[in-house]
């Protein structure tokens, strides 16, 4: 398939899956303005009531935890309401057949009421929606920028790990809503498969043959379970009552199968960490930590559905905050794949985020001025003057504020990088005064090793046979490279750094000529050099290249001066010999 066609198909597939996922998740953003309704109880899928909320219809009707809804003859709305919060569109009246704990059956008519939402519920609901957006957008970006089986498996996990929108669920017609609920079980299995596959492959972008075989086996045993769930969904769509028993059995089996896939993924993570090279282990630990924190938050809200005997019903704001921990998963994975570095606040708090915050603050300031001042002074026509003055003030102060905050962030958040940058700048200025390459080489090697905590560094200079090592610090490096080595060829062709086997090769380039290059090893903790450090090293080597060229120029100048002196002596002797010869001839 041509490259252009592959790119088009990849972009189309990612866009379609991401858009579908967000369409099923994000309607809940309207919850603060359009609260969903509730009958006032939590119920497991089998109908057992696990919790009753005070001052809501179920509590007022005398329903108690431990009672059970008769699902054998349940109608559409009853089946839709079996779950957390017993959701229903506000004003919906439904008759439930309840079997109490003492074994008596009776019908209870309940009318759903809007769920009482606090300000904290509304704020955390918006936060959760933003997290869900990031949970899909970051994996989609990874697939588009680094297409590989590893990133695709993570994208499949992300797009199937969502919770259906409660508002959307209530807006759908009853048959379609029940079908969607059944299909959500399939998404749970696909999420488990994506997680297990990602854990199997991470951190390698290209799988080995053994990994491909294991992944094929996982897909083969997942297909029958998906077929059962699809059949159950079809039966629910065509015959609700007759498929309740099958649906309960299929849901239980699917849940157990998904849990097994997640457990298998955890085992893969542990195995890969034990067998991985030392430079990959910190990245694996960081990703495991991201998944562990996120899964820990989700477990609190999930355990009540998996183990109906345990009644855990945290408030909405707590559920939203616990669910928001999911954002740690895509952040940790993206950082491990892209930045090749473990915990570093620079990934979370980047300059782009600071600049975006400044823009947001400016807009918010103008909005506050408009609301608090302009509206109050509208009749006196002073509001427009105040608003214009505020805009001018923000516009004039933005550049100064930007420089101040940028300096503040560099000094405190990016402190180590800031110190290294200042140190390298001083070293670069000192290099130009060196009178030999023996004085420059240690500055190129020792100082980056010390400032950035690298495992080692080495310098190579051009010779007749290739590029020979003239200085090294830290971990061992090879003695030299011949002219046809792929690293040398890349540096000659591109004049840009190249990463090779965990080492970064940075050229010394002057006037399109390659004087040599420096090799920098990974950090002492095994993590790779990040892009910001790479820029510093590239700038340092550019200064070093000028210093090497200056030393060579000085050596050539000294050589030229010596040759001119020798030439003057030879010319003087030549004149003496010539004069002596003329004198001899005249005699």
429/524 same-domain check: yes
214/299 same-domain check: yes
The string over 298-324, giving b where at least 16 C-beta atoms fall within 10 Å of a residue's C-beta and e elsewhere, is beebeebbeebeeeebeebbbbbbbbb
Q: What pairs with residue 340 in β-bridges?
A: none
Domain of residue 68 covers 36-78+87-114
For residue 432, give Cα distances in angstroms to 436, 471, 535. 10, 19, 20
- Note the pLDDT of residue 62: 86
Per DSSP, the residues of 482-498 read ETT-HHHHHHHHH-S-E
320/356 same-domain check: no
Burial of 156 (0-12, 13-18, 19+ CB in 10 A): buried
- Note the pLDDT of residue 140: 92
Is residue 20 domain-resident? yes
pTM above 0.75, yes or no: no
Q: What is the CATH number of the domain that holds 537?
A: 3.30.450.40
Distance from chain centroid for Cα 231: 36
Mean pLDDT by 10 residues, the chain (587 residues): 76 90 80 78 77 86 84 66 73 84 83 83 84 90 87 92 70 68 80 93 84 92 86 67 57 83 93 81 83 76 49 70 85 75 38 50 50 46 54 55 55 60 86 89 90 90 91 87 90 87 88 89 77 86 92 85 86 83 77
Residues for the chain: how many in total?
587
For 133, the token pair is 């957006």
- Note the pLDDT of residue 568: 86
Is residue 320 domain-resident? yes
Is residue 303 domain-resident? yes
Classified as helix, coil or strand, 325 is helix
In eight-state DSSP terms, residue 528 is P
104/133 same-domain check: no
457/501 same-domain check: yes
Distance from chain centroid for Cα 466: 41
Instruction: Check: CB of residue 499 under 8 Å from CB of residue 489.
Output: no
Distance from chain centroid for Cα 138: 6
449/507 same-domain check: yes
Distance from chain centroid for Cα 247: 37
Distance from chain centroid for Cα 434: 44
What φ, ψ does residue 113 adopt, rounded to 5°?
Answer: -125, 155
d(CA 219, CA 183): 18
Instruction: Check: CB of residue 337 under 8 Å from CB of residue 329.
Output: no
- Note the pLDDT of residue 309: 46
394/448 same-domain check: no
Is residue 392 domain-resident? yes
- Note the pLDDT of residue 308: 44
Residue where the block lists tokens 């509590």:
59
397/496 same-domain check: no
Bond into 337 cis (ω within 30):
no
Q: How many domains does the chain have?
A: 4
Angle at 84 between CA 80 and CA 85, to 5 degrees: 90
In eight-state DSSP terms, residue 371 is I
For 487, the token pair is 């690293």
Instruction: Check: CB of residue 117 under 8 Å from CB of residue 139.
Output: no
Is residue 346 domain-resident? no
In eight-state DSSP terms, residue 530 is P
Angle at 498 between CA 147 and CA 1, to 5 degrees: 30
Phi-psi region of 198 (alpha: psi -120 to 50; beta: other; left: phi over 0): alpha
Q: How many CA atoms lie within 13 A of 449 on its CB side?
A: 20
SS3 sequence, 49-111? EEEECCCCHHHHCCCCCCCEECCCCCCHHHHHHCCHHHEECCCCEEEEEEECCCCCEEEEEEE
Q: How many CB atoms lie within 10 A of CB 374?
A: 18
Q: How many CA atoms lie within 13 A of 27 on its CB side?
A: 17
For residue 495, give Cα distances in angstroms to 60, 75, 255, 483, 540. 77, 72, 55, 15, 15
16/45 same-domain check: no
Q: What is the CATH number of the domain that holds 216?
A: 1.20.1070
218/254 same-domain check: yes
Is residue 494 domain-resident? yes
Q: What pairs with residue 209 in β-bridges?
A: none
Burial of 426 (0-12, 13-18, 19+ CB in 10 A): exposed
Of 376, 397, 412, the last residue of a domain is 412
């Amino acid at each position: 398939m041509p490259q252009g066609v592959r790119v088009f198909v990849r972009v189309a597939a990612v866009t379609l899956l991401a858009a579908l996922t967000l369409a099923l998740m994000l309607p809940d953003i309207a919850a603060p303005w359009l609260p969903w309704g509730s009958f006032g109880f939590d119920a497991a899928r089998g109908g057992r009531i696990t919790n009753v909320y005070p001052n809501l219809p179920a509590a007022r009707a005398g329903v108690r935890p431990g009672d059970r809804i008769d699902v054998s003859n349940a109608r559409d709305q009853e089946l839709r309401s079996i779950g957390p919060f017993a959701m229903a569109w506000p004003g919906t009246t439904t008759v439930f057949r309840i079997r109490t704990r003492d074994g008596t059956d009776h019908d209870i008519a309940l009318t759903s009421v809007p769920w009482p939402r606090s300000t904290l519920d509304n704020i955390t609901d918006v936060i959760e929606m933003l997290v869900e957006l990031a949970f899909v957008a970051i994996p989609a970006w990874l697939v588009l920028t680094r297409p590989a089986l590893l990133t695709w498996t993570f994208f499949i996990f992300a797009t199937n790990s969502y919770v259906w929108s409660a508002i959307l669920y209530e807006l759908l017609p009853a048959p379609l809503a029940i079908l969607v609920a059944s299909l959500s079980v399939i998404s749970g299995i696909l999420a488990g498969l994506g997680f297990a596959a990602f854990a199997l492959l991470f951190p390698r972008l290209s799988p080995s043959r053994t990994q491909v075989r294991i992944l094929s086996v996982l897909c083969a045993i997942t297909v029958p379970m998906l077929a059962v769930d699809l059949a159950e969904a079809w039966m629910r769509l065509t015959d609700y009552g007759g498929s309740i028993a099958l649906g309960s059995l299929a849901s239980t089996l699917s849940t157990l199968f998904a849990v097994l896939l997640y457990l298998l993924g955890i085992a893969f993570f542990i195995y890969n960490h034990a067998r991985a090279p030392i430079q990959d282990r910190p990245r694996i630990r960081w990703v495991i930590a991201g998944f562990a924190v996120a899964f820990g938050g989700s477990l609190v809200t999930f355990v009540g559905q998996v183990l109906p005997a345990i009644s855990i019903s945290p408030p909405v704001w707590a559920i939203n905050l616990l669910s928001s921990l999911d954002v740690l998963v895509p952040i940790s994975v993206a950082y491990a794949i892209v930045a090749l570095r473990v915990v570093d606040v620079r990934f979370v708090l980047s300059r782009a985020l600071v600049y975006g915050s400044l823009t947001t603050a400016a807009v918010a300031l103008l909005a506050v001025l408009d609301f608090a001042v302009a509206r109050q002074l509208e009749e006196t026509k002073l509001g427009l003057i105040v608003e214009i003055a505020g805009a001018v003030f923000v516009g004039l102060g933005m550049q100064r504020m930007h420089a101040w905050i940028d300096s503040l962030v560099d000094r405190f958040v990016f402190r180590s990088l800031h110190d290294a940058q200042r140190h390298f700048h001083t070293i670069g200025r000192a290099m130009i005064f060196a009178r030999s390459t023996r004085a420059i080489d240690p500055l190129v090697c020792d100082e980056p090793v010390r400032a950035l905590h690298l495992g080692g560094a080495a310098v190579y200079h051009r010779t007749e046979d290739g590029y020979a090592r003239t200085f090294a610090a830290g971990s061992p490096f090879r003695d030299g490279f011949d002219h046809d080595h792929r690293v040398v060829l890349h540096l000659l062709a591109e004049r840009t750094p190249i990463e090779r086997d965990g080492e970064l090769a940075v050229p010394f380039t002057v006037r399109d000529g390659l004087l040599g290059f420096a090799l920098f090893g990974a950090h002492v903790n095994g993590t790779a050099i990040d892009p910001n450090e790479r820029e510093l090293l590239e700038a340092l080597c550019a200064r070093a290249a000028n210093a090497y060229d200056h030393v060579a120029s000085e050596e050539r100048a000294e050589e030229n001066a010596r040759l001119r002196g020798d030439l003057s002596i030879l010319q003087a002797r030549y004149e003496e010999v010539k004069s002596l010869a003329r004198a001899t001839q005249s005699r």
